[in-house]
C-alpha cells in the first residue's frame, strides 16, 4: 500500500480518499490543515493498486498504516473505510466523514451489488480514460466541473494514474453492495468525536450525515450550503477548518 506523507514530523491526521482517487487527492486539504499527516492509496487505487481490494483488506492495511494518529478523515468510499477502522485505533480522538454514511439498508444491498458488478464489467470492457470521463460527468460532480479548468484537469489526471482492473476489483470487494451497514448499536457506542460533513446539493448524503449525527453520541453535523458530493474538491478550506479545529496544539 502506497502512503503519501504531508508536512514534517510524526503524522497526526490520516486522510482516506474516494473511489477512482488516490492519496494525492488529499494533498491540498492536508496543506490547508497545516498539520503533519498521511494518505494511503486504498486497495485497488493509485498507480500501484494493492490487491485484494476488499473491505477486510482495506481495514487491515489502513489500521496498520495510521496507528497513532489523532484524527481520521474519510471522503465517500474512504469514509466507509474510516468508520470501520476507527474502533481499531486507540489513540484516535476524532473521526471526520465527508459525503459518507453508515451504509445501505438491507433492502437495497442486493440491488446495489448487481449494479456494482455491472459497473465493474463496464470498466473492464473499455479504457480507463473513457470510464473516468463518464464517472466525472455524473451529476454529483457538477460542482467540480464548475471549478477552473486547470483544477479539473489536475483532478482528472490523478484519477488516470489508476487502473481499470484495480477499480473493478474495488467495486466488487468494497462496494456498498458487499460491505454491509455499520449497525446503529456500533455508532451509539462510538466514544470519540464524529463530525459528518455533506454538501447541501447532495441530499442523499445529507440524509446519511443526519443519520450518523442522530445516533452517534458525540457527533456534529456540518452542511456546506453550496457544495455537492465532492466537498473536499469543491471547497477544501471548508473541510480544513473543521479538521484543524480537532487537532490538539
CATH of the domain at 211: 3.40.50.1820
Give the angle 35-36-39 at the CA atoms, nearest 5°: 115
The confidence band for 249, taking pLDDT boundaries of 50, 70 and 90, is: low
Q: Is the pLDDT of residue 212 over 70?
A: yes
Mean pLDDT of the chain: 95
pLDDT at res. 147: 87
* Helix, strand or coil, per DSSP, at residue 219: strand
Please check whether residue 249 lies inside any domain of the structure: no
Express each pLDDT in 60-95 by its tens digit. 999 999 999 999 999 999 999 999 999 999 999 999
Q: Which residues constitute the domain of residue 88?
A: 3-244
Please check whether residue 166 lies inside any domain of the structure: yes
In the chain, % of residues over pLDDT 70: 100
pLDDT at res. 34: 96
Please check whether residue 124 lies inside any domain of the structure: yes
pLDDT at res. 74: 99
Closest CA to 222 of 249, 192, 191, 243: 243
pLDDT at res. 107: 73
Q: In what order do the strands lie in the sheet with 37-40?
A: 3-6, 37-40, 13-16, 71-75, 94-98, 193-199, 219-224
The confidence band for 6, taking pLDDT boundaries of 50, 70 and 90, is: very high
Please check whether residue 174 lies inside any domain of the structure: yes
Among 26-35, 81-90, 104-113, 189-198, the minimum mean pLDDT is found in 104-113
Q: Quote the number of domains for the chain.
A: 1
Can you give the pTM of this predicted structure? 0.96
Amino acid at each position: 500500500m502506497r502512503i503519501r506523507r504531508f508536512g514534517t514530523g510524526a503524522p497526526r491526521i490520516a486522510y482516506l480518499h474516494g473511489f477512482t482517487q488516490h492519496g494525492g487527492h488529499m494533498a491540498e486539504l492536508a496543506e490547508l490543515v497545516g498539520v503533519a499527516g498521511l494518505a494511503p492509496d486504498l486497495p485497488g487505487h493509485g498507480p500501484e493498486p494493492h490487491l485484494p481490494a476488499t473491505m477486510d483488506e482495506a481495514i487491515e492495511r489502513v489500521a496498520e498504516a495510521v496507528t497513532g494518529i489523532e484524527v481520521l478523515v474519510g471522503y465517500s468510499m474512504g469514509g466507509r473505510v474510516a468508520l470501520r477502522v476507527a474502533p481499531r485505533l486507540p489513540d484516535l480522538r476524532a473521526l471526520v466523514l465527508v459525503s459518507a454514511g453508515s451504509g445501505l439498508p438491507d433492502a437495497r444491498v442486493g440491488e446495489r451489488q448487481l449494479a456494482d458488478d455491472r459497473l465493474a464489467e463496464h470498466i473492464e470492457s473499455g479504457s480507463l480514460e473513457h470510464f473516468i470521463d463518464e464517472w466525472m460527468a455524473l451529476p454529483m460532480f457538477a460542482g467540480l466541473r464548475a471549478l477552473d479548468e486547470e483544477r479539473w484537469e489536475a483532478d482528472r489526471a490523478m484519477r488516470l494514474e489508476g487502473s481499470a482492473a484495480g477499480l473493478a476489483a474495488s467495486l466488487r470487494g468494497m462496494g456498498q453492495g458487499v460491505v454491509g451497514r455499520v449497525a446503529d448499536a456500533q455508532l451509539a457506542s462510538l466514544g470519540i468525536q464524529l463530525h459528518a460533513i455533506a454538501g447541501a446539493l447532495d441530499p442523499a448524503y445529507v440524509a446519511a450525515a443526519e443519520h450518523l449525527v442522530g445516533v452517534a453520541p458525540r457527533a456534529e453535523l456540518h452542511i456546506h450550503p453550496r457544495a455537492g458530493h465532492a466537498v473536499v474538491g469543491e471547497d477544501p478550506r471548508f473541510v480544513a477548518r473543521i479538521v484543524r479545529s480537532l487537532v490538539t496544539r
